[in-house]
């Protein structure tokens, strides 16, 4: 036999199959090993590519990998206070269900798409994206390949599940409480960059109209950050007439409002009541224990893991995604109080005396 006959073509690798199929290595492995998660059409495509290349998996390695695969990936932001609470509860719930939780953080140099690809390469069977401003283009690498659960905002994508807080109801509760405490000049500070802000703005406007205060409704541009709250407080403090209450998009912005009012000599809650949203760590770090809309993070985490595992277990049946709204509850604390304008008579109210 000639020397040439001793050589055969290199054995195709899983990496080559993944490259030709246009999927991640982790997803290709899941498709070929029969692990739950990938969509039927993706599984069929990868297997067709593998067959055409003559790929033969290492049976021992495949069995070992399959036994190890009970893993859910989580994409989250390092700078969002609420995300840390969510991740902690996701860990607790996932472990109770026998799943490992793998984290992939979003940073300036590690965008959502890269974070998601890392999870797929790590053989995650589902991906939970924790975000208030997701872009479907950033996670489309996973859509149709493994179940995707969006946590923190809604979506109309037919292959993505979502679990989010009912911002409309939450802000409506805050307006009703403030009106019952005598407030009429109630301002909402929104966060245009966050997808969830639309429901909150509509809830605010609807509640103000329902209280007969439509003509006094006012939305001020703010943001999700502490600094955005400081800037909003600076602007409001310079106006001839302060609002009697401000509802912020989230606790971080509300904490900035409280600080911004303080450095300008405006007392919270004596002169202005401030209400946050989330009941995150910022609600306890602003110098006042903040009145806020409480999100039940434990419930949200439980729902997210339940939806991810439901879709993993029913992957062969192509179970449709579920969209869930969770209603927040108002927690009344130290940053809000009855309106001074209601408590004082015209002769007792210093600002009223100046107008007499």
* Residue 18 clears pLDDT 60, i.e. is over it: yes
Q: What is the pLDDT of residue 82?
A: 83
Mean pLDDT of 324-334: 97
pLDDT of residue 177: 98
Cα dihedral value 201, 207, 209, 215, nearest 10: -60
The answer, yes or no, to whether residue 157 has pLDDT greater than 60, is yes
- Span 27-39, average pLDDT: 76
Q: Sorting pLDDT into bands at 50, 70 and 90, what band is 301?
A: very high
For the full predicted model, state whether its pTM sits above 0.85: no
Gap between the Cα atoms of 287 and 207, Å rounded: 29
The percent of residues above 70 in pLDDT, for the chain, comes to 87
pLDDT digit string, tens, across residues 161-198: 999 999 999 999 999 999 999 999 999 999 998 877 89
Half-sphere exposure of 23 (CA within 13 A, CB side): 31
Cα distance between residue 31 and residue 198, in whole Å: 39
Q: Is 290 helix (H, G, I), strand (E, B) or coil?
A: coil
Nearest to 46 by CA among 29, 62, 60: 29
> CATH: 3.40.50.12140, 1.20.1250.20, 3.30.830.10, 3.40.50.2300. Which one for 70-166+297-327?
3.40.50.2300
Cα–Cα dist 71/87, whole Å: 14
Q: Do the first three CATH levels of 70-166+297-327 and 167-295+331-353 match, i.e. the same topology?
A: yes
Given a contact cutoff of 8 angstroms between Cβ atoms, the answer to whether 199 and 207 are in contact is: no
Give the H or E element holding residue 228. helix 226-237
Residue 154 in this model has a pLDDT that exceeds 80: no
- Residue 185 near residue 243, CB atoms below 8 Å: yes
Residues 332/290, Cβ–Cβ less than 8 Å? no
Q: Using pLDDT thresholds of 50, 70 and 90, give the confidence band for residue 61.
A: low
Regarding the domain delimited by 167-295+331-353, which CATH topology (the fold level of the hierarchy) does it fall under?
Answer: Rossmann fold (3.40.50)
Characterize 27-60 residue by residue with b for buried, 16 or more Cβ atoms within 10 angstroms of its Cβ, and e for exposed: bbbbbbeebbbbbeebbebbbebbeeeebeeeee
Pick from 14-23, 59-68, 244-253: least confident = 59-68
CATH class held by domain 10-64: mainly alpha
- At 57 the pLDDT is 63
d(CA 254, CA 263): 14
CA neighbours within 13 Å on the CB side: how many for 93? 20
Q: Report pLDDT for 351.
A: 40
Residue 60 CA, distance from chain mean position:
40
Question: DSSP class of residue 110?
Answer: B
Q: What angle do CA 82, 73, 118 make, to 5 degrees?
A: 110
Average confidence (pLDDT) over 50-79: 72
pLDDT digits (tens, 9 = 90+) for 226-239: 999 999 999 999 99
What is the pLDDT confidence band of residue 132, given thresholds at 50, 70 and 90?
Answer: low
Going from N- to C-terminal start, the domains of the chain cover 10-64, 70-166+297-327, 167-295+331-353
Q: Is the pLDDT of residue 328 over 70?
A: yes
Distance CA 292, CA 280 (A): 9
pLDDT above 70 (res 344): no
Asked whether the predicted pLDDT for residue 16 surpasses 80, the reply is yes
Coil/strand/helix, residue 236: helix
Which residue has better confidence, 284 or 244?
244
Q: For residue 62, what pLDDT is reported?
A: 46
Average pLDDT of the chain is: 86
């Amino acid at each position: 036999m000639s020397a040439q006959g001793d050589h055969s073509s290199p054995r195709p690798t899983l990496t080559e199959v993944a490259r030709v199929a246009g999927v991640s290595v982790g997803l290709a492995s899941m498709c070929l090993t029969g692990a739950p998660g990938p969509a039927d059409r993706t599984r069929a495509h990868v297997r067709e590519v593998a067959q055409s290349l003559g790929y033969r998996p290492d049976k021992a390695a495949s069995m070992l990998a399959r036994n190890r695969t009970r893993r859910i990936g989580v994409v989250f932001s390092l700078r969002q206070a609420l995300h840390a609470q969510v991740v902690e509860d996701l860990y607790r719930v996932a472990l109770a269900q026998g799943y490992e939780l793998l984290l992939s953080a979003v940073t300036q140099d590690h965008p959502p798409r890269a974070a998601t690809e890392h999870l797929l390469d790590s053989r995650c069977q589902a991906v939970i994206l924790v975000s208030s401003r997701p872009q479907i283009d950033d996670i489309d690498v996973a859509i149709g390949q493994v179940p995707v659960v969006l946590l923190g905002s809604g979506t109309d994508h037919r292959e993505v599940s979502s679990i989010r807080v009912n911002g409309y109801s939450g802000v409506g509760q805050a307006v009703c409480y403030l009106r019952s405490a005598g407030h009429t000049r109630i301002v909402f500070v929104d966060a245009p960059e966050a997808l969830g802000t639309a429901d909150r703005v509509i809830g605010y406007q609807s509640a103000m109209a329902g209280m007969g205060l439509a003509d006094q409704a006012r939305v001020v541009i703010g943001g999700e950050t502490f600094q955005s709250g400081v800037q909003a407080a600076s602007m409001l403090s310079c106006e001839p007439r302060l609002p009697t209450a401000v509802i912020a998009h989230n606790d971080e912005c509300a904490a900035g409002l409280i600080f911004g009012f303080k450095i300008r000599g405006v007392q919270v809650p004596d002169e202005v009541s401030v209400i946050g949203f989330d009941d995150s760590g910022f609600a306890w770090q602003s110098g006042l224990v903040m009145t806020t809309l409480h999100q039940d993070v434990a419930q949200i985490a439980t729902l997210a893991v339940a939806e991810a595992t439901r879709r993993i277990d029913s992957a062969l049946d192509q179970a449709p995604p579920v969209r869930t709204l969770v209603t927040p509850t108002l927690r009344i604390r130290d940053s809000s109080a009855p309106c001074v304008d209601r408590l004082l008579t015209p002769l007792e109210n210093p600002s009223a005396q100046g107008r007499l």
